[in-house]
Amino acid sequence: MMPEQLLKRTGLLIRVNLKRDWAKLVIWIVALAGLFTAIAAKFDGIYGTQSAIETIVKTLKSPAMVSLFGAFTAKAPYTTAKIFATEMMVFMAIVMVIMNIMIAVAATRAEEDEGLLELVRSHAVGRLAPLMAAFIELTGLNAIVGLLFGAGLQLANMPGANTAGNWLIGAGLAAIGWMFGMLTLLLAQLADSASGTTMLAYAVFGVMYVARMSTDVSDPKTTWWVPFGWIEKLGIYQTNQWQPLLMMGLFGLICLVAAQRLNLRRDLGAGLLPTRQGRTTASPILRGPATLLWRRTRISLLVWVLGNLMLGASYASVFNTIGDLAKSNPMIKQLLGASALAAANRVIVKNFIAILAIVMVIVALIPAVQTMLKLVSDENKGYLHQLYATATSRWQVWASYTGLAMIEAAAVFFAGTFGMYATGAAMMTDPIKWLTYWHVLLAYFPAMLVMIAFASLLVGWAPKLRHLSWLWVFYGFFSLYLGSLIDLPKWAKQLTPLGFVNKVPMKAIDWTTNWWLLAITVLLLLVAAIGYRRRDLAQ
Amino acid sequence: MATPAPLLQITHLQKRFGKFQALKDIDFSIYPGEVFGFIGPNGAGKSTTIRVLLGILKASGGSATIFGQDVWQHSVAIHQRIAYVPGDVYLWPNLSGGEIIDLFLKMNGERHTAKTDALIEEFGLDPRKKARTYSKGNRQKVALIAAFSTDADFYIFDEPTSGLDPLNEQTFQNHVLALKQQGKSVLLSSHILSEVEKMCDRIGIIREGQIVETGTLAEMRHLTRTTIDVQTVAPLTKLAELPGVHGVTAKHGENHVSLAVDADQLTPVMAYLTQQQLVSLTTTPPTLEDLFMRYYEAPNDARATDGK
């Protein structure tokens, strides 16, 4: 077939997609550009003085910070702008990747799953047109976000910044996002559904993130082998390397071409990975809304549990390097003595665990909130219609989703923490005891419950606003992962319940807060249950 | 009678999904100006065949052409001249019905015309409502209005009326008949056999991925049995022994029975009945439903050959 035939009416599809997605795109663009520019503008206030810069440089050079924010490659003289680039690139790249995976899945597989693409394709629309429309939408989105990043930095005008570096940051973040968008388009051809594509995309991203972390800590040169690590290789405000950009472009292009090839070859609604057959009869366990939901989510829960377990394990694999002061300063052992040194080392690792706890909490909240909000999307898709036609009460259905969401949060959080403990125990000369991790679990779980209960409340009373719970989770991640580095005020951190939790295991569990949080959870759940029982269901 | 070149030609079409052979051997043609009925039980392969015709699924073997062009290679050129309505219509939830109709028209390079407005009026659709609020029937109306408004040469309907009320179903049938009069061709897959019987010139029956019969209804009737309800003066003792007579059942009244007769044995049976002096006689030609049942309730031998 002629190429023009394959691409026929791509332009029309782009317009339709924009019409469908504009609200989502505008929110992403405004939120990202606003957040980024605001932080840049504020940065001079936080790291304006030379002494503040020297202090943060020491922190950023420590292996714990390297594993979270990437290798510290800036050379003296250190400037505010260099600190900004070191702190922000990996974090912003994560956000860009998540945005691209979400938009790419929605623009390709989701529409195919709904059967819409069949009707579209029955018209005089080229076979590749839907894929190309998604490609152009993603390219435009990343370009706009990148441009706004660059413009925002120009506006913020940090000390030590220069025009080339500013635009390189914008271009670099746009390129890494775009690359993952293209990768998702490719993965969408392999999986046979939207959820399968999402899972595959996050799995690939997770592997790259962990690989980037361990190479950064052990040997930053090898980070070149990890595509996600290319974002650290830009040498911003120093040598200003444009070569990694080229590599990202090339990688994305290869993914796009491969996606096109596979798309031409496969059937609509099918993936290249085979779909397995189901069982002939229902298992005796499958008998009500709770077990039905369990049956539908168990595979994804397993993936999340294993994923967080591995994430925790890979973080813990650098505990030994991080908790070894003697390595960077051989004199310290004589100065402190062996036992004092061991204690100091433990403090460093515990400090690191306290930061990692946030990552584990957020990762555990994702499947939990997903399940909670599924109560609305299942309703909208009509899955619950027939369930309600049976002798099943609203309360039972609501309790099943809410309950499973909480169990998921607990299981995934536990898995991540256990991963840290097990690897730490195996690799450290002076391992951290399980009791320490147990305290982490106890400290954060009540705050997580409040966030899930809030999602449940939205589901019960304002299902249209349910996506606000994602905003809250995302804000929690932002305020605690990045908060202390950008000097976020206490009240801003306490906009989520996670901000009230003591820095366990550095400090003791604050039981008063825990009881409060549990009481709020119960209250929210009561109100949520009443709301869900009273409101109209989607027709 | 000179036969024009077929508009649609399917030869030995096959489609395999992994190990499962969804289409084993599909063979049929549709000629210009013809309404072709496509019937078969659920899961027989009707929709799979249609999706192959649309170039959405790639055939594993055999060939299928529309307007003489390969359905996979030239799908865009073909789609320019066809219109399709699926059984389950899914639409963009945040677009209105009117927007979607126009969009579908634009996708074929056409535009909203007076005919579109007339169709919206006739089907009784509120075009300003968002698609998420439409019922199944209303979603189908959106797709039907877009299809009938398209100036196509070939229309494919895959169970298009499953959600329509009887009034709209009538409107649908009128429009299909109008298309036929304009010399357009239609492929209609349906479970509503009365609809197929009323509108279709020829019928193809598909079972387990194979076309088991094609022809006009009259031709098919020839292959099957006529039902007779008869009352005579003399007793019908020998009736059941005659060749080609099936299912003799006694009814109320003396010498009153109903029976089925093979089409080719009709003359000797009628001769015997006349001999016994007729009191009343009604014959019913086989309906499509009878035909359908005959193919689907499956004589055991037919199933046996499939290894079931």
pLDDT digits (tens, 9 = 90+) for B89-99: 888 888 899 99
**In this complex, do B86 and A124 lie within 8 Å of one another by their Cβ atoms?**
no
Assign A126 to helix, strand or coil: coil
Q: Is A355 on the interface with B (CB under 8 A)?
A: no
Searching chain B, which residue's CA lies closest to the CA of residue A128? B76
pLDDT for the residue A327 = 66
pLDDT at B302: 41
The residue with greater pLDDT, A75 or A520, is A520
Mutate to test the interface with B, among A15, A16, A119 (most CBs of B within 10 A): A119
Contacts of B48 in chain A (CB under 8 A): none
User: Is A75 an 8 Å CB contact of chain B?
Assistant: no
- Nearest-CB residue to A1 (from B56, B73, B109): B73
The residue among A13, A20, A122, A265 with the most chain B CBs within 10 A of its CB, best to mutate, is A122
pLDDT reading at B301 higher than 90: no
pLDDT over 90 for what percent of chain B? 43
The residue of A116, A123, A128, A380 whose CB has the most chain B CBs within 10 angstroms, and thus the best one to mutate to test that interface, is A123
Distance from CA of B153 to the nearest CA of A (A): 13
CB nearest to B84's CB, from A114, A122, A275: A122
Cβ–Cβ below 8 Å for B18 and A12: no
In chain B, which residues touch A (CB < 8 A)? 17-18, 51, 54-58, 73-77, 79-80, 82, 84, 86, 88-92, 94-95, 103-104, 106-109, 132-133, 143, 156
Please check whether residue B14 is in contact with residue B23, taking contact to mean a CB–CB distance below 8 angstroms: yes
Q: Over 50: is that where the pLDDT of B308 sits?
A: no
Residues of B whose CB is below 8 A from A122: 54, 56, 79, 82, 84, 86, 156
**Helices A50-61, A80-105: crossing angle, 10 deg rounding:** 50
Q: Is pLDDT above 90 for A43?
A: no
How far is A270 from B174, CA to CA, in rounded Å? 37
Mean pLDDT score, A89-98: 94
Higher pLDDT, A269 or B239: B239
Cα–Cα separations (whole angstroms), residue B166 to A91, A421, B170: 60, 67, 6
Say if A278 is an interface residue toward chain B (CB within 8 Å).
no
Q: Which of A115, A122, A274 comes nearest B79 by C-beta?
A: A122
Mutate to test the interface with A, among B23, B56, B70, B107 (most CBs of A within 10 A): B107
Q: What is the pTM of this model?
A: 0.82
pLDDT at residue A438 above 90? yes
A5/B76 Cβ within 8 A: yes
- In this complex, which of A8, A16, A121 lies closest to B56 when CB atoms are compared? A121
Examine the predicted complex and report whether its ipTM is higher than 0.95: no
Mean pLDDT score of chain A, rounded to an integer?
90
Residue whose pair of structure tokens reads 């670099």 in the numeric block? A172
pLDDT of residue A420: 94
Give every CB contact of residue B18 below 8 A, 6+ residues apart in sequence: A274, A275
Residue ranges of the domains in chain A? 25-270, 288-539
Q: Least CB-CB distance to A119: which of B76, B77, B143?
A: B143
Interface A-B: count of C-beta contacts within 8 A: 82
Q: Which of residues 209-238 of A touch B (CB under 8 A)?
A: none
How high does pLDDT run on average in chain B? 87
Closest Cα in chain B, distance from residue A377 (Å): 13
| Closest residue on chain A to B80 (Cα) | A124
- Encoding tokens for residue A264? 């031409």
**CB-neighbour burial class of residue B23 (10 A; exposed 0-12, middle 13-18, buried 19+):** buried
B28: which 2 tokens?
A: 């049929």
CA–CA separation, B89 and A222 (whole Å) = 52
Across the beta sheet with B278-284, the strand order is B245-250, B256-262, B225-232, B278-284
Q: Looking at residue B305, what is its pLDDT? A: 37
Using the predicted structure, report yes or no on whether residue A496 has a pLDDT greater than 60.
Answer: yes
Binary contact (A123, B90; C-beta < 8 A): no
Q: Does the pLDDT value for residue A76 go beyond 60?
A: yes
Tell if the CB–CB gap between A115 and B74 is shorter than 8 Å.
no
pLDDT of residue B307: 34
| Cis? peptide before A505, omega within 30° of 0 | yes
Asked if B73's CB is within 8 angstroms of A12's CB, the reply is no
Minimum mean pLDDT range among A215-219, A400-404, B82-86, B290-294: B290-294
Tell me how many degrees the CA angle A312-A315-A320 measures, rounded to the nearest 5. 125
Q: pLDDT per residue over A247-288, tens digit each?
A: 999 999 999 999 999 998 888 877 777 777 777 778 777 878
